């Protein structure tokens, strides 16, 4: 991108010429997308065609001005452009980052409670803290299979489901406590990981992905249809809650709060759940980090790099793949168990392919094989989803389709002109301008100028745009950082100096 | 004629068919213990197929591949072992393995046959040292108590790991890559990648090392260094070598025994001098019968 930037710019005439070209391109793209809109008449229900030339003009002008400014900026002398080269983090900086992250995670609940009080902090600890940590743990678990061993698994949610149902059925049928069920659920999930592992040992790449995808669906379909066993599509409710060494979190004598002489508050159980999932996630990470430095971990990574060379060195690739599947599934099962105890209700609806895709996206977005990258990606994606719920966009977005169209068009332009960042900035500015219209006074003035204005008002639930934003984030990431947030690989052993390995050399695995 | 008196590998009636294609046809030869045996032949003669059968990547259609890891490859013991249907016969008199019955990873670990590849297969995204550590996989797995002891940092595992690192350091020094131990293998120059692949194979402590065109793409100086390295491996590590090579200077200089293949069949077998004077080899290998061209061809291979 930098090399192209240096050839752009040029004289005023040339800049105007290119800007006109960009504007023309926008015009061509806008005509089918924005210019016409069909709408049904509110009174008669008749379809009518609405022309929106002004809106088209707005985008054409934005493209022209944006392109011109961009070229002007490109023509200006450059300072430093070396930021493209990924600088490996030093060992000390990396350790400081890890410790900082850990301290933040440990202090997050008390600080939130101190700032917002018990009631206000509930949402932040539950919907953000616990929810994100579940996905961090799932991401770290799947990272063993996909990131380290290079086996593309599209059905990871199956093990999550096995864990959740294991706890639920054991707790409701045999009245076992969570802490006894937790390891059993993990082992059951690991067993299913092996059961999946055996038939797919010989499969690679696309074929492996399809079979794992099918496996995820099989588990879900069985849960839906085997009503006697799993309660079917209705799910299972009233799952026993988590206990603190046998003390229930409830407002009654003998409960946790009563035992410690505290006043009952729902936040206490959430705090406990938070630290439980934090512990489980850290266990996943700790085990993964340790295993990477052991022969099994090196064999996983070697398997990702070159399976044939592995066999020539005496590595039993069958066992290596099976342990990766089993261990990944084990942590998925633990997370599933936790999910069940936290929700108190589970149904097959919670274990759709969508979940597998989200977890895989976290791993890919984070940078395959990187612990910190996966954690950041989980915060970014799951935190982002939760934030969407916060936004009340109903009276906020007036031109939903226009904004989507503008995003699409400008992304296309950005890709064509290879200047995604500036175009992204332009998108934000343009859409922010449209959002400005939320101001009632401003909107009324606009409506006076443009009688059709209010016909565009729509009621929007921002969470419905989850998929769109999710896809967009993935597209942008693939363009900007194709190897994820953390694209370098840290070696598992070193003689003199720990040097990060550039992501370009690291393979993604082939099966 | 050490390959007759004390063979480490005895290949008998090896046949490999891929559908209708016969890649190797009824091939029998021996590789002597402590010898450098060269397998030569024109492109498509089936040399790499023989390698893939020996190292367990292909299961031969027919034939027997007996490897005497230690002791003498006594034909009667091999026959008895073949009849029992077992994979190996380990006695104080020596360990004999039937390679055609074993999967590739067990051949590398139990029979101790290591190999390199025609198109280098290093773990490119892992460092040079990590590449060598993967070659110690099996002994480290045992030392780590199948991971469980290692997970808790048992001292026995740490000692085993230190030992593996020491061996890796020894080989790094031997191939002149000590300074690049922490660099990714994919960043090394081509000649260094070839040497590293040989060192990685040697870290599995093999009795037989199979090298598929080790000198391909090397310049004359690197080629001479490679000869020295191979001689060192043979003399100091008591490892027998089986190599496929196109570079005649390498073959003639270092090999003790040459086996010539053409269209999957053996056409000549003997010392380098015998082979290069064999008119069948010259004719078949270079595909000429014309007197004048034959003279040129002879000059080329140094006959």
The reply to whether residue A299 touches residue B105, judged by beta carbons under 8 angstroms, is no
pLDDT, greater one: A367 or A163: A163
Q: Percent helix, strand and coil across chain B, each rounded to 5?
A: 45, 25, 30
Give residue-wise pLDDT tens across range A81-118: 444 444 455 667 778 888 888 888 888 888 888 888 77
Q: Say which of A304, A492, A501 has its CB closest to residue B184.
A: A501
Instruction: Write a three-state SS string for A342-367.
Output: HHCCECHHHHCHHHHHHHHHHHHHHC
**What pLDDT is stored for residue A193 in this prediction?**
92
Does A208 share its domain with A276?
yes
- A494/B contact by beta carbon, under 8 A: yes
Q: What is the mean pLDDT of residues A427-439?
A: 58
Which pLDDT score is estimated for A393? 46
Span A220-224, average pLDDT = 92
Query: Do A208 and A335 lie in a common domain?
Result: yes
- Tell me: do A40 and A180 sit in the same domain: no
| A224, part of any domain | yes
A181 and A290 fall within a common domain: yes
Q: Copy the structure tokens of residue A86.
A: 């990924």
| DSSP H/E element including A457 | none
Nearest to B182 among A317, A323, A491 (CB): A491
- Structural domain including A151 reads 113-360
CB-closest option in A296, A317, A505 to B187: A505
How far does B27 lie from chain A, in Å, by closest CA?
23
Task: Kindly tell me if the per-residue pLDDT of B140 is higher than 60.
Answer: yes
Q: Say if residue A341 is in the same domain as residue A399.
A: no
pLDDT at A452: 62
C-alpha A55/C-alpha A239 separation (Å) is: 54
| Residue A480: inside a domain | no
Provide φ and ψ at A203, rounded to 5°.
Answer: -90, 150
Once rounded to an integer, what is the mean pLDDT over residues B66-72? 84
Render pLDDT for B143-164 as a digit per residue (tens, 0 to 9): 887 777 777 777 888 888 899 9
B120-204 architecture in CATH? 3-Layer(aba) Sandwich (3.40)
Residue A265 sits in the same domain as residue A127: yes
| CATH number of the structural domain spanning residue A125 | 1.10.3470
Question: Do the chains contact at A314 and B151, CB–CB below 8 Å?
Answer: no
Residue A320 shares a structural domain with residue A213: yes
Partner residue opposite B182 with nearest CB, options A294, A494, A502: A494
pLDDT of residue A7: 44
- For residue A80, the model assigns a pLDDT of 46
- In this predicted model, what pLDDT tens digit does every residue of B43-60 receive, in sequence order? 888 889 999 999 999 999
Q: Please judge whether B130 and A493 are an interchain contact, meaning their C-beta atoms are less than 8 angstroms apart.
A: yes
Instruction: Indicate which of B51, B109, B120, B123 best probes the interface with A, i.e. most A CBs within 10 Å of its own CB.
Output: B123
* Residue recorded with tokens 């799932």: A138
Residues A241, A335 share a domain: yes
CB atoms within 10 A of CB B184: 25
Closest partner CB to B184 (pick from A296, A311, A505): A505
Taking contacts as CB-CB distances below 8 angstroms, the residues of chain B near A312 are 55, 57, 104, 108, 114-115, 117, 121, 201
Write down the pLDDT at residue A395. 40
Count of domains forming chain A: 2
In a domain, A476, yes or no: no
What's the whole-number average pLDDT of chain A?
79
Confidence of residue A346 (pLDDT cuts 50, 70, 90): very high
Q: What is the pLDDT of residue A84?
A: 42
Nearest CA in chain A to B165: A495
Q: Is residue A503 part of a domain?
A: no
Q: For residue B97, which of B130, B67, B129 has the smallest C-alpha distance? A: B67
Shared-domain flag, residues A349 and A398: no
* Residue A384 counted as domain residue: no
For B196, the enclosing helix (H) or strand (E) is: helix B190-202
Does one domain contain both A295 and A402? no
For residue B153, how many other CB atoms are within 10 A of its CB? 12
A474 touching chain B per CB within 8 A: no
Lowest mean pLDDT among A247-261, B146-160, B249-263, B276-290: B276-290
Across A284-300, b (16+ Cβ under 10 Å) vs e yields bbebbeebbbbbbbbbb
In the predicted model, what is the mean pLDDT of residues A17-30?
Answer: 84
Angle at Cα A117 formed by Cα A113 and Cα A118, nearest 5°?
80
Shortest distance between the Cα of A192 and any Cα of chain B, in A, equals 21
| Whether B126 and A315 lie within 8 Å, measured CB to CB | no
At A184 the pLDDT is 95
φ, ψ for residue A354, nearest 5 deg: -55, -40
Helix (H) or strand (E) run with residue B66 in it: strand B62-68
Q: pLDDT of A368-387, one tens digit each?
A: 778 888 998 898 888 877 77
Q: Is the pLDDT of residue A442 over 50?
A: yes
Residue ranges covered by each domain of chain B: 2-112+207-301, 120-204
Contacts of A323 in chain B (CB under 8 A): 147
CB atoms within 10 A of CB B68: 25
pLDDT of residue B153: 74
Does A444 reside within a domain? yes
CB atoms A294 and B125 under 8 Å: no
Confirm whether A478 is domain-assigned: no
Alpha helices in A293-316 (DSSP H): 295-305, 307-312
Provide the pLDDT for residue A428: 62
Quick check: A316 contacting B, CB < 8 Å? yes
Residues A147-188 pLDDT 10s: 899 888 899 999 999 999 999 999 998 988 889 999 999 999
In the structure, how many helices (H) and strands (E) does chain B have?
Answer: 14, 11
Do A343 and A290 reside in the same domain of the chain?
Answer: yes
**Any CB–CB contact under 8 A between A279 and chain B?**
no
Please tell me whether residues A311 and A446 are part of one structural domain.
Answer: no
Instruction: Report the residue from A294, A314, A497 with minimal CB separation from B109.
Output: A314
Min Cα distance B232 → chain A (Å) is: 21
Q: What is the DSSP letter of B267?
A: E
How close, in Å, is residue A213 to chain B by CA atoms?
A: 28
Q: Do A314 and B204 touch (CB under 8 A)?
A: yes
- The distance of B138 to chain A (nearest Cα, Å) reads 7
The dotted CATH code for B2-112+207-301 is 3.40.50.300
| Highest-scoring range by mean pLDDT, A144-153, A480-489, B70-79 | A144-153
Task: Tokens 């370009």: give the residue.
Answer: A504
Percent of chain A with pLDDT over 90: 26
pLDDT-derived band at A5, boundaries 50, 70, 90: very low
Answer whether residue A412 is part of any domain. yes
């Amino acid at each position: 991108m930098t090399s192209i930037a240096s050839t752009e710019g040029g004289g005023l005439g040339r800049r105007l010429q290119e800007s006109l070209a960009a504007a023309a391109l926008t015009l061509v793209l806008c005509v089918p997308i924005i210019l016409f809109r069909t709408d049904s008449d509110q009174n008669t229900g008749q379809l009518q065609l609405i022309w929106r030339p002004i809106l088209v003009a707005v985008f054409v002008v934005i493209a022209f001005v944006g392109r011109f400014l961009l070229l002007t900026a490109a023509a200006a002398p450059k300072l430093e452009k070396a930021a493209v080269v990924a600088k490996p983090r030093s060992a000390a900086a990396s350790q400081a980052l890890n410790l900082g992250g850990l301290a933040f995670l440990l202090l997050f609940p008390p600080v939130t409670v101190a700032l917002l009080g018990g009631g206000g902090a509930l949402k932040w600890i539950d919907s953000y803290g616990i929810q994100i940590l579940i996905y961090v743990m799932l991401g770290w678990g799947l990272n063993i299979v996909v990131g380290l061993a290079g086996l593309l698994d599209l059905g990871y949610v199956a093990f999550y489901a096995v864990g959740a149902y294991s706890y639920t059925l054991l707790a409701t049928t045999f009245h076992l406590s969570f802490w006894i069920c937790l390891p059993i659920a993990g082992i059951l999930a690991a067993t299913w990981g092996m059961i999946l592992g055996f038939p797919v040992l010989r499969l690679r790449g696309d074929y492996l992905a399809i079979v794992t995808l099918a496996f995820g669906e099989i588990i879900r379909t069985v849960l839906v249809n085997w009503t006697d066993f799993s309660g079917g599509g209705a799910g299972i409710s009233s799952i026993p809650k988590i206990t603190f060494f046998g003390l229930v979190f409830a407002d009654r004598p003998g409960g946790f709060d009563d035992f410690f002489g505290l006043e009952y508050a729902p936040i206490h159980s959430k705090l406990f759940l938070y630290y439980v999932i934090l512990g489980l996630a850290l266990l996943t990470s700790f085990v993964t980090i340790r295993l990477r430095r052991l022969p099994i971990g090196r064999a996983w990574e070697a398997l990702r790099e070159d399976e044939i060379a592995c066999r020539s060195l005496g590595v039993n690739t069958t066992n290596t793949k099976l342990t990766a599947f089993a261990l990944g599934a084990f942590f998925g099962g633990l997370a599933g168990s936790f999910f069940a105890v936290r929700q108190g209700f589970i149904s097959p609806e919670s274990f759709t392919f969508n979940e597998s895709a989200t977890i895989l996206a976290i791993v890919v977005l984070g940078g395959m094989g990187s612990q910190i990258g996966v954690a950041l990606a989980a915060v970014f994606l799951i935190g982002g989803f939760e934030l969407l719920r916060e936004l009340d966009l109903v009276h906020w977005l007036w031109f939903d389709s226009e904004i989507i169209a503008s995003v699409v068009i400008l992304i296309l332009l950005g890709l064509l002109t290879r200047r995604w960042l500036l175009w992204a900035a332009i998108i934000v500015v343009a859409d922010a301008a449209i959002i400005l219209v939320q101001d009632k006074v401003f909107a009324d003035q606009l409506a006076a100028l443009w009688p059709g204005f209010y016909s565009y008002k729509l009621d929007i639930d921002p969470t419905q745009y989850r998929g769109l934003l999710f896809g967009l984030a993935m597209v942008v990431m693939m363009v900007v950082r194709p190897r994820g947030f953390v694209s370098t690989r840290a070696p598992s052993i070193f003689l003199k100096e720990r040097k990060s390995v550039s992501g370009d050399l690291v393979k993604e695995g082939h099966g | 004629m050490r390959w007759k008196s004390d063979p480490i590998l005895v290949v008998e009636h090896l046949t490999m068919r891929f559908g209708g294609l016969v890649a190797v046809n009824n091939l029998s030869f021996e590789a002597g213990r402590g010898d450098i045996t060269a397998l030569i032949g024109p492109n498509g003669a089936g040399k790499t197929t023989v390698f893939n059968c020996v190292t367990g990547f292909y299961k031969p259609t027919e034939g027997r591949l007996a490897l005497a890891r230690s002791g003498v490859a006594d034909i009667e013991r091999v026959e008895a072992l073949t009849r029992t249907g077992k994979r190996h016969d380990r006695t104080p008199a020596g360990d004999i393995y039937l390679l055609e019955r074993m999967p590739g990873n067990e051949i590398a670990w139990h029979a101790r046959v290591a190999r390199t590849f025609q198109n280098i297969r290093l773990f490119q995204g892992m460092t040079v040292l990590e590449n060598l550590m993967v070659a110690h996989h099996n002994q480290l797995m045992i030392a780590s108590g199948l991971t469980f002891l290692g997970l808790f940092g048992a001292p026995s595992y740490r000692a085993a790991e230190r030992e593996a690192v020491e061996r890796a350091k020894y080989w790094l020094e031997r191939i002149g890559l000590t300074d690049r131990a922490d660099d990714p293998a994919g960043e090394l120059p081509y000649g260094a990648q070839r040497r590293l692949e040989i060192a990685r194979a040697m870290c599995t402590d093999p009795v037989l090392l199979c090298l598929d065109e080790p000198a391909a793409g090397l310049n004359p100086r690197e080629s001479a260094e490679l000869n020295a390295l191979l001689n060192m491996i043979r003399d100091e590590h008591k490892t027998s070598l089986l190599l496929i090579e196109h570079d005649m200077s390498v073959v003639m200089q270092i090999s003790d025994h040459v086996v010539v293949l053409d269209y999957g069949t053996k056409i000549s077998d003997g010392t380098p001098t015998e082979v290069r004077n064999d008119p069948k080899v010259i004719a078949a290998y270079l595909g000429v019968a014309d007197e004048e061209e034959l003279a040129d061809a002879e000059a080329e291979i140094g006959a």
